Amino acid sequence: MADRKVISIDGMGGDHAPGIVVEGLERFAQQRSEFHFLLHGDEAKLKALLANAPTAAPRTTIRHTAQAIAMDAKPGQAVRRGKGSSMWNAIESVKNGEAVAAVSAGNTGVLMGMSLLILRTIEGLRRPALVAGWPTRKGISAVLDLGADIDADAEQLVEFAIMGQAYFKAVHHKDNPSIGLLNIGSEELKGHESIRDAAKLIRESGIKMNFHGFVEGDDIAKGTVDVVVTDGFTGNVALKTVEGLAKMISEMLMEALMKSGPLVMLGALLAMPALKKFRATLDPRKVNGAVLLGLNGIVVKSHGGTDKVGFAQAISVAAEMGESRARAEIEESLKRLLASPAAQQQAVAAAPEAAK
């Protein structure tokens, strides 16, 4: 069935599920005629919604389950007790080969925990990472890890670089994307030891990578590199900080334009096409769909509060990843890394640490 290009969808995950899930599915189905869908969730509700999704409906198979994961579920418990839920079943369809990728807008922590439990990490890889697109001056870059884990040692940062590279090739169709390690100060001597060691390891390990070296926070918006690699704590803080600022700027701009008297309002109306274009370049829906990389199967996390446009984009990311050679490329690079004398040295050096 995987040959038929099937995407598995958690119909019940997200703040506005299942409504926007089916609307997003319909939108994606209109764009890509070759995909079929497995839709997991409450059959009665999903069936009713599919009645208004004429393009998707003929290509969609509903898999009924009454169980769904609450958006505010506690990850630990929900992962253990979630077997048979729409989220669980969506991931399991990837494991058993029925689908090339799964998409859910449900609880992030539960989705990550469940995906890890069901799909397991690629052999030789220590930890998965969460990656997403990031709007820049030049277009879109990718940043990872956005919070799959909180720490990352040198070897994990190199794993992230390898996975980010494969992701960027798959989703953004660039052959030799440039990779940078996020640091403070661009001098070799600054920053955490793990970051400096990771740079050394990438250079010495013989993995094929267009490695730029260190980048700083402001390089992300500049689009200095295609893939920015950092630990999950820093990545998550940077992402949320920027989301907060973007929202604030957008709101304040509209307030300033709408509350400054009739002449300014007239001006704003005249300038509206440009203002809309400007807002579109920062539209978070355009980069919706974070990929949980490093598992034996593709899982895409949609923003929980997105609309149909955003959800369709998340399905599209799943489609690109599912069709790509990303996993094979990650496995090849990992083999090179693990076989390299540089990595073996680091493993020996790190051993006493790990044994503590």
Residue 350 makes contact with its own copies by CB under 8 A: no
β-bridge mates for residue 102, sequence order = 8, 299
Q: What angle do CA 179, 181, 186 make, to 5 degrees?
A: 115
CB of residue 264 vs its own copies: minimum separation in angstroms?
4
SS3 of residue 97 by DSSP: coil
Q: Is 354 in the site for its own copies (CB under 8 A)?
A: no
Name the residue nearer to its own copies (CB basis): 272 or 347.
272
Answer for the pair 201, 342: CB distance below 8 angstroms, yes or no. yes
> Shortest approach of its own copies to residue 216 CB, angstroms?
5
- Residue 240 as a binder of its own copies (CB under 8 A): the answer is yes
Do residues 73 and 86 touch, judged by C-beta distance below 8 A? no
Selected from 41, 82, 180, 232, the binder of its own copies by CB under 8 A is: 232
Pair of tokens at residue 1: 């069935």
Q: Which residue, 97 or 244, has its beta carbon nearer to its own copies?
A: 244
Q: Which of 48, 70, 266, 347 binds its own copies (CB under 8 A)?
A: 266
CA distance linking residue 128 with residue 156, whole number of Å: 9
- Which residue in 80, 83, 208, 247 binds its own copies (CB under 8 A)? 247
Look up tokens 């919706």; give the residue: 288
- Give the nearest distance from C-beta 180 to its own copies in angstroms: 13
Tokens found for residue 326:
């990303």
Of positions 32, 151, 173, 345, contacts its own copies by CB under 8 A:
151
Q: Which is nearer to its own copies, 109 or 213 (CB)?
A: 109
User: Minimum distance between the CB of residue 265 and its own copies, rounded to whole angstroms?
Assistant: 8
- Judged by CB under 8 A, the residue of 59, 95, 172, 192 near its own copies is 192
Sites for its own copies among residues 198-227 (CB under 8 A): 216-222
**Stretch in the footprint of its own copies (CB under 8 A) among 17-25, 183-191, 285-293, 298-306:** 183-191
Query: Angle 218-287-141 (CA atoms, 0-180°, nearest 5)?
Result: 40
**231-261 burial, b for 16+ CB within 10 Å, e for fewer?**
bbebbbebbeebeeeeeeeeeeeeeebeeee
Q: Taking the chain, what is the end-to-end CA distance rounded to the nearest angstrom? A: 47
**Beta carbons of 209 and 165 less than 8 angstroms apart:** yes
70 binds its own copies (CB under 8 A): no
Residue 16 token pair = 């506005």
Question: Which residues of this protein are in contact with its own copies, per CB under 8 A?
Answer: 74, 109, 136-137, 147, 150-151, 182, 184-185, 187, 190-192, 216-222, 230, 232-234, 236-249, 251-253, 256-257, 259-260, 263-264, 266-275, 277-278, 281-282
